[in-house]
Amino acid sequence: MLSSYSHRKFRAMAACLRPRFQRVRSATMAVGEKLMTWTWLGPPLKVVEDPSDHIYKDFYGLSGIPFSITPDPEFLFLADTHQCVIEKLHYGIRSRMGFMLLTGEVGTGKTTLCRTLLDHFQGRARTVYVINPSLSGQELLACILEDLEIPCPVQASKKELLDRLNRFLLARTSAEPVVIIIDDAQSMPPATLEDLRLLSNLETDKTKLLQMLLVGQPELLVQLDRPELRQLKQRVVIHCCLDYLTRAEVAGYIERRLFV
């Protein structure tokens, strides 16, 4: 547990950080809107650091901003629940069990955990990380094939995309597993979720050819309860759920962020 003096320092630092993050978010949204409207033809844009960042980093002896909202695996705090989830997903992928599910409320660390999984399986698996859940089934297939460097015609049909993926997977049954991670899956159109069932059908007599991890908020479970998606739900072999940290774990989380 942090001392009362450290606690006061932490609260003072948090008070400094809060308005700055709001300004950064607003500036980012404004720049994003401009870039969507015009094409920038000048020199590469540079991120300008707020000079006051150095003040509190130097004052508190920090090497970086400890409470950034970006999902950096370096800052992952492994509470008991998170450790258990990682072990289950590692086992599911290594054992080629097929379809897996990770759910949790906003802020429980789902995306950071996904990035940690991707780092762990780098060089041990072929991975595809999908961050755009609004894709159609055909667009999702094209995205997967592109990331796996599988050549295909621009106007390929859904069937041809699926056939090419199946041939690719069959040719590497003895190689490292192929893992597809789809983040924010609660926002996927029902038709695209139904198309995922076709991917779960890719298998041999002994193993699943594709390891699929759907990551999303609890609304994803509501989606999977739809009658037309019951066959997809039946294919889920592992379902992990992340919960909020306990009061005791919060102190460990803060310490991890400050002293990593």
Query: Which domains are assigned to the chain?
Result: 4-69 (no CATH), 74-242 (3.40.50.300)
Q: Which of 139-148, 149-158, 195-204 has the highest mean pLDDT?
A: 139-148
Mean pLDDT, rounded, for 143-154: 91
User: What per-residue confidence (pLDDT) applies to 161?
Assistant: 94
Residue 188 pLDDT > 80, yes or no?
yes
- Contact assessment for residue 85 and residue 113, using Cβ atoms and an 8 Å cutoff: yes
Mean pLDDT, rounded, for 165-186: 92
- Contact assessment for residue 117 and residue 253, using Cβ atoms and an 8 Å cutoff: no
Residue 136 pLDDT > 60, yes or no?
yes
Residue scoring higher pLDDT (37 or 45): 45
Q: How confident is the model at residue 180 (pLDDT cuts 50, 70, 90)?
A: very high
Q: Give the chain's mean pLDDT.
A: 78
Mean pLDDT, rounded, for 71-94: 80
Residue 148 pLDDT > 60, yes or no?
yes
Q: How confident is the model at residue 158 (pLDDT cuts 50, 70, 90)?
A: very high
User: How far, in Å, CA of 175 to CA of 19, rounded?
Assistant: 50
Residue 83 pLDDT > 90, yes or no?
no
User: What per-residue confidence (pLDDT) applies to 56?
Assistant: 60
Residue 164 pLDDT > 90, yes or no?
yes
Q: What six digits make up the tokens of 181?
A: 């991670």
Number of residues in the chain: 260
Q: SS3 of 122, please?
A: strand
pTM score of the predicted model: 0.70
CA distances from 203 to 38, 121, 151, 172 (A): 46, 21, 21, 12
Give per-residue pLDDT as tens, 26-42: 333 344 443 344 444 55
Give per-residue pLDDT as tens, 46-67: 555 555 556 666 665 666 666 6
User: What per-residue confidence (pLDDT) applies to 27?
Assistant: 38
- Contact assessment for residue 179 and residue 213, using Cβ atoms and an 8 Å cutoff: yes
Mean pLDDT, rounded, for 166-181: 91
Cα 55 versus chain centre, distance: 32
Least trusted range by pLDDT, from 8-12, 34-38, 92-96: 34-38
Q: How confident is the model at residue 79 (pLDDT cuts 50, 70, 90)?
A: confident
Of the chain, the percentage scoring pLDDT greater than 70 comes to 66
User: What per-residue confidence (pLDDT) applies to 17?
Assistant: 43
User: What per-residue confidence (pLDDT) applies to 68?
Assistant: 63
